[in-house]
Amino acid sequence: MTGWELRAPAVIAGRHESGQVSGAGRLLAPALVIVAFLGIWELYVVLGGVDPLVLPPPHAIASALYTDRGTLWSNFLVTAKEVLLGIVVGVVVALVLAVAIHFSRTLRRAVYPLLIASQALPIPLVAPLLAFWLGFGLLPKLATIGLVTFFPVVVTTLGALETVDPDLLKLLRTFDASGAQTFLRVELPAALPGVFTGAKLAAVFAVIGVVFAELSGSSSGLAYLFNVTDNQFETAEAFAAVAILSLFAIALFAIVAVAERRALPWAYQSSKGTDNA
């Protein structure tokens, strides 16, 4: 048995252990920051004599999360439905626009400036107008969420499509590959990392969009619940709704990130290989 064969299990075990440590470290660091932040917040409210109606302490928010769990859960389901459907609408529209702009320079010159201008629209002002035009049902909320989510997907997808190796495209043309074949076999796979990057941003922006949409006209949802409880000086429950919205945004981002790793393992392997090099 060679020296390498004797050392190999230990080396592999060491790498596995270091991977576990690094993974635990990635979770431990933000957890410590959150605990420290909540501790400082609690001490500030309790020792500083702050009125809980103005700023409730973390323990009161945790109590509201438990005691009002039924109300919070029912309103969360409404918000989650709006957010998920809004993300689907925004991503689908973004992908269609990105592919169309990619294939048409004329369309790029005509439409791309308008897409940029759409992001200058003040959503707190646009959301009430959409509710006035489209009613107070689901449609204006999907429109608002789609408006804030489609742009990052368009930009990152177009950026990824433009990074395709031109030599590879020339090679496909020498084999008489059609535009559709080139797109499906080369350009689309190359664009997927950009699509997922935009989708992760869209997942976070969607939660911001649903808040403006529900505040503009709604009878249910976490933002609606926040507005009602805040006006009734039930501040702890209002903060509990905000906490759930924040956790929901983090969960959506994490889900898209995991889906990206599952769908594009080659992208992470290549990036690790570059880092090791």
Q: Are residues 100 and 129 in the same domain?
A: yes
* Domain C-terminal end among 50, 73, 88: 50
Q: Are residues 141 and 213 in the same domain?
A: yes
18 is in which domain, residue-wise?
Answer: 1-50
Q: Is the pLDDT of residue 6 over 90?
A: no
Structurally, the chain folds into a number of domains equal to 2
Q: Are residues 44 and 61 in the same domain?
A: no
Mean pLDDT of 190-218: 91
Name the residue with higher pLDDT: 273 or 263.
263
Q: What is the largest CA-CA distance in the chain?
A: 78
Q: Is the pLDDT of residue 210 over 90?
A: yes
Q: Are residues 121 and 236 in the same domain?
A: yes
Q: Are residues 46 and 59 in the same domain?
A: no
Mean pLDDT of 203-222: 91
- The predicted-structure confidence for 108-166, as pLDDT tens digits, reads as follows 888 888 888 888 888 888 988 988 888 888 999 999 999 999 999 999 998 888 887 77
**Structure confidence at residue 23 (pLDDT):** 57
What share of the chain in percent tops pLDDT 90?
Answer: 43
**Structure confidence at residue 102 (pLDDT):** 85
Q: How confident is the model at residue 200 (pLDDT cuts 50, 70, 90)?
A: very high
Q: Are residues 89 and 220 in the same domain?
A: yes
Q: Are residues 180 and 242 in the same domain?
A: yes
* Domain C-terminal end among 50, 70, 86: 50
Q: Are residues 101 and 229 in the same domain?
A: yes
**Structure confidence at residue 268 (pLDDT):** 66
CATH of the domain at 121: 1.10.3720.10
Q: How confident is the model at residue 24 (pLDDT cuts 50, 70, 90)?
A: low
Q: Are residues 44 and 59 in the same domain?
A: no
**Structure confidence at residue 94 (pLDDT):** 93
**Structure confidence at residue 118 (pLDDT):** 85
Q: Are residues 46 and 57 in the same domain?
A: no
**Structure confidence at residue 187 (pLDDT):** 80
Q: Are residues 140 and 233 in the same domain?
A: yes
**Structure confidence at residue 132 (pLDDT):** 87
Q: Are residues 65 and 29 in the same domain?
A: no
What share of the chain in percent tops pLDDT 70?
Answer: 86
**Structure confidence at residue 270 (pLDDT):** 54
- The predicted-structure confidence for 46-101, as pLDDT tens digits, reads as follows 888 888 888 899 999 999 999 999 999 999 999 999 999 999 999 999 999 998 99
Would the pTM of this model clear 0.95, i.e. be above it? no
